[in-house]
Amino acid sequence: MSVHLSIVLLFTGLTGLHSITTVSEVSVKAGGSISIPCLYESEHTHHVKYLCDGYHWVTCSYTVKTDQAGSSQKFSISDDKDQRIFTVTINDLTDDDSHYWCVVEIKDGSDVGKYFRLSVTRGSPQLYVDHQEMTGFNGGDVTINCYHSISGEGGWCRLGGSCVKESSGSIDGTKVIINVNVPGVVTVTMRGLRTESSGWYFCVKGDLQMPVHLTVNERPTTTAAPLTTVPVDPTTDPAAEAPAQSDYYGASIYPLSLMIALTVLTIILIVTSLIWFMLKRYSQTKAQSSALTVQRKRRRKLNASHAEGDVDVLYRSVVIKRQQDVQRVERNEQDVTYSTLA
């Protein structure tokens, strides 16, 4: 590249810096990875985007482009034309990963780009989040913790949009609450999420920013609509994959049915065991009662038999005694001599 052309690219590039919006400086940990969003103008929607490595605009070299199939292990790029944001991801960060440019290729003119810097550290980054990808539901809330070890003004901003730096505010109709009561943590809560809330945001602390991507989905319903099976040709009908959704619902219903069946079976076994135990107890009680009744009857018969034996002995004794008395009288009468008086 000639010196004259380099100067032309330098000035035209500088004049086009405002066509791309991105973060300015991000603190990252060596060996980790980082995703950087780059917002571009609507007239660049169908243009090629790429990441350029180097401190100077005129000497930087591209690492990955959207018109090249695939991606390397070190760099990757994706382009969301609806949001007008292309995202570059850099893996296996080292001390050499410091100076980059988000660039839009202009066929009939000079490319336009925006510079950002990576501050690579061996320890914990000076500003970081748990996850760069967050998910929420329409009408719900989402909370992001921004950890920091530096001083300075903090806040929560949308890429290419407004910022909230006070304790509360709103961004595009979504309420934002910022809590700094915990030292070293800026807690951001977004309430009343909408589908339009999806996009790239970033934490701010001093001169550093940390990008966070938010995806807002529709809240899943608790009941599934009835499905109608219609024969389709999987080679021609794009809805041929619909049965997979039916399989999904069926797979989720079968475990529930199995749990209900096992619960009912357990209840039946418990009730059956209780009934069997009560019947067995009743049978034992009845058998004991019958045995007691038989014993009582036998005792009564034995008592009655003893009573009859005593009466018979007494009667016989009386008879024998009376017979002896009669014999004695007769003998006495025989011993008496009767005399006749003259």
Please check whether residue 178 lies inside any domain of the structure: yes
Please check whether residue 47 lies inside any domain of the structure: yes
Same domain for 120 and 152: no
Same domain for 86 and 71: yes
Same domain for 94 and 135: no
Same domain for 141 and 56: no
Predicted local confidence at residue 226, as pLDDT: 55
Same domain for 72 and 44: yes
Please check whether residue 234 lies inside any domain of the structure: no
Determine the structural domain holding residue 65 and report its residue range: 1-125
- Decide: 65 and 48 in contact? Cβ < 8 Å: yes
At which residue do the structure tokens 């780009």 appear?
113
Same domain for 143 and 89: no
Same domain for 196 and 83: no
Please check whether residue 253 lies inside any domain of the structure: no
Same domain for 15 and 88: yes
Same domain for 116 and 1: yes
Same domain for 109 and 14: yes
In the listed set 87, 106, 125, which residue is the last one of a domain according to the structure?
125
Q: Which amino acid is at 77?
A: I
Burial 219-251 (b: 16+ CB within 10 A, else e): eeeeeeeeeeeeeeeeeeeeeeeeeeeeeeeee
In the listed set 169, 195, 220, which residue is the last one of a domain according to the structure?
220
Q: How far apart are CA 309 and CA 314, in angstroms?
A: 9
Q: Which amino acid is at 262?
A: L
Name the nearest CA neighbour of 22 among 44, 43, 37, 42.
37
Residue 49, exposed/middle/buried by CB under 10 A (0-12, 13-18, 19+)?
Answer: buried
Please check whether residue 301 lies inside any domain of the structure: yes
Name the nearest CA neighbour of 211 among 115, 118, 133, 103.
133
Predicted local confidence at residue 171, as pLDDT: 96
Same domain for 149 and 76: no
What is the full per-residue pLDDT of the chain (342 aa) written as tens digits?
333 333 334 444 444 445 899 999 999 999 999 999 999 999 999 999 999 999 998 899 989 999 986 667 899 999 999 999 999 999 999 999 999 999 999 988 899 999 999 999 999 999 999 999 999 999 999 999 999 999 989 999 999 999 999 999 999 999 999 999 999 999 999 999 999 999 999 999 999 999 999 999 998 876 555 555 555 454 444 444 444 444 444 444 556 777 888 888 889 989 888 888 888 888 777 777 777 776 777 777 766 665 555 544 444 444 444 444 545 444 554 444 444 432
Name the nearest CA neighbour of 190 among 247, 113, 111, 134.
134
Please check whether residue 228 lies inside any domain of the structure: no
Q: How far apart are CA 133 and CA 37, in angstroms?
A: 12
Please check whether residue 133 lies inside any domain of the structure: yes
Q: How many domains does the chain have?
A: 3
Q: At residue 50, what are phi and psi to the nearest 5 degrees? A: -155, 165
In the listed set 220, 248, 274, which residue is the last one of a domain according to the structure?
220
Same domain for 112 and 7: yes
Task: Please give, one letter per residue, the 3-state secondary structure of the chain.
Answer: CCHHHHHHHHHHHHHCHHHEECCCEEEEECCCCEEEEEEECHHHCCCCEEEEECCCCCCCEEEEECCCCCCCCCEEEEEECCCCEEEEEECCCCCCCCEEEEEECCCCCCCEEEEEEEEEECCCCCEEECCCEEEEECCCEEEEEEEECCCCCEEEEECCCCEECCCEEEECCEEEEEECCCCCEEEEEEECCCHHHCEEEEEEECCEEEEEEEEEECCCCCCCCCCCCCCCCCCCCHHHHHHHHHHHHHHHHHHHHHHHHHHHHHHHHHHHHHHHHHHHHHHHHHHHHHHHHHHHHHHHHHHHHHHHHHHHHHHHHHHHHHHHHHHHHHHHHHHCCCCCCC
Predicted local confidence at residue 201, as pLDDT: 98
Q: How far apart are CA 11 and CA 16, in angstroms?
A: 9
- Decide: 174 and 197 in contact? Cβ < 8 Å: yes
Please check whether residue 338 lies inside any domain of the structure: no
- Assigned token pair, 51: 């990441």
Q: Output the domain CATH number for residue 7.
A: 2.60.40.10
